[in-house]
Amino acid sequence: MRYQYDMQTHSDFSDGDYAVKDVIKLAKKNGLRAISITDHNTWYGLKLKERLARAANILNVQGVEISTKIFDTEVHILGYSLNLDEHILKLGLTETVNGYNQRAKMMLEKLAATKIINLKISAIKKSKNSLLPMTKYDLAKTIAKRLKITPKQALAYFNSGGVAQVPYGDWAMLPSAAVKLIHQANGYASLAHPGETLEKLVKRFGQTIGEKKFKLLISELSKSKIDAIEVYSPKNNLEMRNRCKELAVKHHWLITGGSDWHGEHHHPEIAMGDGGLNEHNFKTFIKTIKKNRRP
């Protein structure tokens, strides 16, 4: 199913293939009526996204996706608003951005030790705004050019099981802390692609304990007063979608949806609009986030 309201896409401000202006152009070409470019761990570019979307006659929902860690497992928390407080996000994400940059440096050092390629972080910084976190995909794109391989192949060095993998460090905040930060920044928080999160937990701990950890995560998020859960994601199978709908009813959470589109090079298996919201769910979503959290 194709959705006209895609609430999770990415630009090259984080780990997407396209510049913001090109993401907006593609959204228009694909018939989207509303979009949220939820770049990872950054406040940067919110006004630019707003301006370009308005020029294309597409409704822009300001968004961010924060990388967190619990049970030694990555969990992503989405934040949405029509008026995010950039200053609060910038301050709150400082440690995360610094951690990402240090992690990138460590990844390159591990890769150099394997004799595959010796690349300094300065070579990648030239093509990345200094205000933005350095992602493993930024490393992969530069390495791909040097080794004449695809970015996807280069990314394998840094992914789980790769020779240069470096997990999130102590700098990564808890999911509950990300929810709090999003609330402070006048946003509404949602658990991103729960199906992928459960899969990670099961892979690390096994089916039974992984399930228990997932339920504990949901309990912690409920206590932190998270607002929503991402139901309509290509990373959620039908069983997970139904499970997320039940959780939304139980906890009085909003339903969100997005493709997690990054582009045909980073995630060729996902097209823009593969996940998102239908008109009814989007109207409910937008009606809620129009309400400012702060007076």
**Could you tell me which residues are beta bridge partners of residue 6?**
35
Tell me how far CA of residue 153 lies from CA of 146, 159, 165, 265, in angstroms: 12, 10, 14, 10
| Residue type present at position 175 | P
Q: Residue 294's pLDDT band (boundaries 50, 70, 90)?
A: low
Q: Where are the domains of the chain?
A: 5-95+174-198+205-213+226-289
**pLDDT score at 1:** 57
Question: Which whole number is the average pLDDT over 26-45?
Answer: 96
**pLDDT score at 229:** 98
What tens digit of pLDDT does each residue of 127-165 get?
788 889 999 999 999 999 999 999 989 999 999 899 999
**pLDDT score at 291:** 84
Judging by DSSP bridges, how do beta strands 228-232 and 188-191 pair with one another?
parallel
* 3-class DSSP state of 69: strand
What tens digit of pLDDT does each residue of 241-287 get?
999 999 999 999 999 999 999 998 888 899 999 999 999 999 999 99
**pLDDT score at 121:** 87
Question: Which whole number is the average pLDDT over 45-61?
Answer: 95
**pLDDT score at 127:** 76
How does the average pLDDT of the chain come out, rounded?
Answer: 95
> How far apart are alpha carbons 124 and 117 in whole angstroms?
14
Tokens describing residue 216 = 């504990």
**pLDDT score at 267:** 86
Q: Residue 48's pLDDT band (boundaries 50, 70, 90)?
A: very high
Q: End-to-end CA distance of the chain, in Å? A: 39
Q: What is the CA 115 to chain-centroid distance, rounded?
A: 32
112-126, 169-183, 194-208, 218-232: which has the minimum mean pLDDT?
A: 112-126
Helix (H) or strand (E) holding 203: helix 194-205
CATH topology of domain 5-95+174-198+205-213+226-289: TIM Barrel (3.20.20)
What tens digit of pLDDT does each residue of 99-137 get?
999 999 999 999 999 999 998 888 887 778 888 999 999
> How far apart are alpha carbons 177 and 190 in whole angstroms?
13
Tokens describing residue 285 = 């979503």
**pLDDT score at 268:** 87
